[in-house]
């Protein structure tokens, strides 16, 4: 398996384990790699520091620490070897209006059609990602922003697009809308965090979402690292086991958590 979304310490919020401990756990579980995600700092240097037992990749989330929708931050991240650029997460406008956690009460960020002024820098970011053949992840943007971004990214030549947990509270996208965007060339993420912590989420609902989107479009990740979640490798394994228990094909689920996830991130 290959986990495209894991949180570790050091971080502003409490984490279950540090970078090296998380990577060692993946190696012991037979994983082929992972992506470290931080909401408030680039993880590129951290990933390079712990690569060894298995490949580890990093990236940047375009929250306030990075200047929001900031092509300069993206250029620096990609030049240093970053593989994933997440659009705003904790500082996305939808995150704040949905009442979900954010570090501070500072600025929020949105894309067209919510904020037309960010259209040009977002296009420049997409062009940079396309040039690096890196991954554009949609973060915690709203559904209409995600739709605009996917179409814009494809027009700018981005080949690797990840719809960040579209069925989660943010952006709360329907399976039908998710499938529509996936058919434009994006992968849709389902996370163990949703199974473990999303309000009113059940195994049956998550399996139904996956089936309606189509497993051929799905990437499974843990989004784990919280003190009240299982260790990340076990969290992702639990997600696969749970969805298989709801009748989805285990072989296809393992591809969603393995080959497809790794192919999305790793440059060939």
Q: What is the mean pLDDT of residues 226-233?
A: 98
Residue partners of 84: CB distance under 8 A and separation at least 6: 4, 35, 37, 57, 58, 59, 60, 134, 135, 137, 162, 265
Ordered DSSP codes for the chain: -EEEEE--BS-SS--SSBHHHHHHHHHHTT--EEEE--SSS--HHHHHHHTTSS-EE-EEE-SGGGTSS-HHHHHHHHHTT--EEEPPSTTBHHHHHTT---S-SS--B--TTT-GGGHHHHHHHHHHHHHHT-EEE-TT--HHHHHHHHHHHHHTT--EEEE-STTSTTT---HHHHHHHHTTT-EEEEEHHHHHHSTT--HHHHHHHHHHH-GGGEEEE--B--TTS--HHHHHHHHHHHHHHTT--HHHHHHHTTHHHHHHHS--
Confidence of residue 98 (pLDDT cuts 50, 70, 90): confident
pLDDT, tens digit (0-9, with 9 covering 90-100), for 184-213: 999 999 999 999 999 999 999 999 999 999
Q: Which two tokens stand for residue 187?
A: 């992968």
What's the pTM? 0.97
pLDDT tier for residue 251 given thresholds of 50, 70 and 90? very high
Report how far residue 85's alpha carbon sits from residue 78's, in angstroms, rounded to the nearest whole number. 9
CATH class in words for 2-265: alpha beta
- The domains of the chain are located at 2-265
- Label residue 214 by pLDDT band (50, 70, 90): very high
Spatial distance between the Cα atoms of 59 and 41, rounded to a whole number of angstroms: 9
Which residue has tokens 């954010």? Answer: 102
């Amino acid at each position: 398996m290959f986990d495209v979304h894991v949180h570790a310490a050091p971080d502003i919020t409490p984490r279950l384990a540090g970078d090296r401990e998380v990577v060692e756990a993946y190696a012991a579980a037979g994983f082929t790699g992972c992506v470290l995600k931080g909401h408030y700092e680039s993880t590129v240097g951290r990933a390079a520091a712990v690569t060894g037992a298995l490949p580890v990749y990093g990236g940047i989330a375009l929250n306030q620490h990075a200047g929001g929708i900031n092509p300069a931050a993206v250029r620096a991240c990609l030049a240093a070897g970053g593989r994933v650029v997440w659009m705003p997460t904790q500082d996305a406008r939808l995150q704040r209006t949905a009442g979900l956690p954010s570090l501070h009460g500072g600025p929020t960020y949105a894309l067209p059609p919510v904020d037309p002024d960010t259209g040009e820098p977002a296009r420049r970011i997409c062009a940079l990602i396309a040039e690096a053949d890196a991954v554009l992840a949609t973060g915690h943007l709203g559904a209409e922003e995600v739709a605009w971004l996917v179409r814009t990214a494809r027009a700018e030549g981005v080949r690797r697009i990840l719809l960040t947990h579209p069925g989660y509270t943010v952006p709360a996208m329907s399976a039908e809308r998710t499938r529509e965007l996936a058919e434009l060339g994006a992968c849709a993420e389902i996370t163990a965090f949703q199974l473990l912590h999303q309000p009113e989420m059940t195994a049956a609902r998550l399996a139904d979402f996956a089936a309606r989107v189509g497993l051929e479009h799905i990437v499974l990740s843990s989004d784990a690292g919280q003190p009240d979640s299982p260790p990340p490798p076990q969290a992702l394994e639990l997600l696969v086991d749970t969805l298989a228990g709801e009748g989805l094909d285990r072989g296809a689920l393992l591809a969603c958590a393995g080959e497809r996830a790794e192919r999305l991130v790793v440059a060939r």
